[in-house]
Structure formats: structure tokens, C-alpha cells
A and B are shown apart, each in its own frame.
Chain A
């Protein structure tokens, strides 16, 4: 079985400040890792994913996440946030042979203040 822990339920931050949303997972087998974002009144959207290769992955809107196998972490970072980044962020894992079934963390609400 696998599980995902998002250590912070809410992260308030001022505009243009850096932010890190933490994600740790546990699994006895190799996993794929994802960050999904849910903007207010919208569905979940894939932000970025790690399948293999380079442990640093980036999104088109400036977010990045680094897979750390030894620490079983996949933290999400952005060097300078915008008001429009206000949303709920979900970390998720899937198992290589589990038919793409996702296990989600509890979510982190990012609140960007002017």
C-alpha cells in the first residue's frame, strides 16, 4: 500500500515571495509522482509529474518539484508567486503496475496575499 502526506494544510505567502509545498510518500515499490492543482470552482489539473529520468521537473508556469528517493519526498517550489497561484495543491502517487490509480495527499491550500 502507498500513502501521501502533505505536511501543511495551508500556506499563506505574500506575492513575489518564494514558496515550498511539502510532500512525502511511503511505498514499498517504485512510484510515479504528481502534483495536481485545483483553482477555485474548477476541476483538478495536472501541474507536473515525475516518471523517470531527471529528478527535477518543471511546469510551464514556473513551478518545479524535485524527486528525492532517499527522503521519499517530492516538494513543490516556486521562486516568486503570483496572486493567480492561489489554489489547492495535491500531491499524488501511482504505482508502476497499479493501472494508473492515484493515491492523493490531503492537499495544501496556497493563499497568496498582495
Chain B
């Protein structure tokens, strides 16, 4: 089966610009996650969707970050305006509903964002 797809793979922008990342989860996976991974650190959850509803967005900086999952499939994560500290790899992951208790999440390759 096809894995989690993300685009773009790399993005360089100037501070105060806006940027959007796209994620296509594994077909049939109800749950979708966005993580931020700053260099030298482990991934940090930004937001979790179940179908098209938000389960948890407590760590999403809502003044500048937004995310949506239209029709419960693809998702976009937007940053507007970007700051230097947003430079990181943004990971998308998905899991089937039945896998919620097992902890298994399937990760995409990530989008590396550099803010200059």
C-alpha cells in the first residue's frame, strides 16, 4: 500500500511570509497527526485529527498556525506569518482507527522548512 505522502519536501521562505504544507495519509486511515521536529529534538505533536474533527490542538500556536482536514482525507498545515523559530521538519502521520490503542503511526518523509 502507498505510504503517507507529503509535499513539498523542502521549502525556504523569509520571515513574515506564509507557507503551506500538504499531507495525504494512507487510504482508510481515520486519524491524522502533524508534528514539528526541530533539529536535535524529537517530534512534538501539533494537532491530531480524527476523520475531519480536531481531537487535540493544545500545542498548536494558533496565532500563526492553522490546519484543516477537508473531507477527512488530505490535510494542510499553514504558517502565517512565519518566524525564524519555525525552522523545522514538519511530519505528517496517520493511523487506522483500530490502531489507536496500539500506538502505531505511519509517518511521511516530512517537509523541511527553513525560515531566513
Q: Which A residues lie at the B interface, using CB under 8 A? A: 4, 6, 9, 32, 34, 36, 41-46, 49, 51, 90, 92, 94, 96, 99-107
Contacts and interface: CB of A to CB of B under 8 A. Distances in A.
Contacts of A36: 107
Contact of A45 (B43, B48, B100, B107): B107
Interface in B71-116: 91, 93, 95, 99-105, 107-110
B31 interface: yes
B2 to A, nearest CB: 13
B104 A42 contact: no
B109 A43 contact: yes
Interface of B: 3-4, 31, 33, 40-45, 48, 50, 55-56, 91, 93, 95, 99-105, 107-110
B43 A43 contact: no
Contacts, number: 70
A4 B42 CA distance: 10
A94 B4 CA distance: 21
Contacts of A106: 40-42
A94 B110 contact: no
A49 B108 contact: no
A105 B42 contact: yes
Nearest to B92: A43
A44 to B, nearest CB: 4
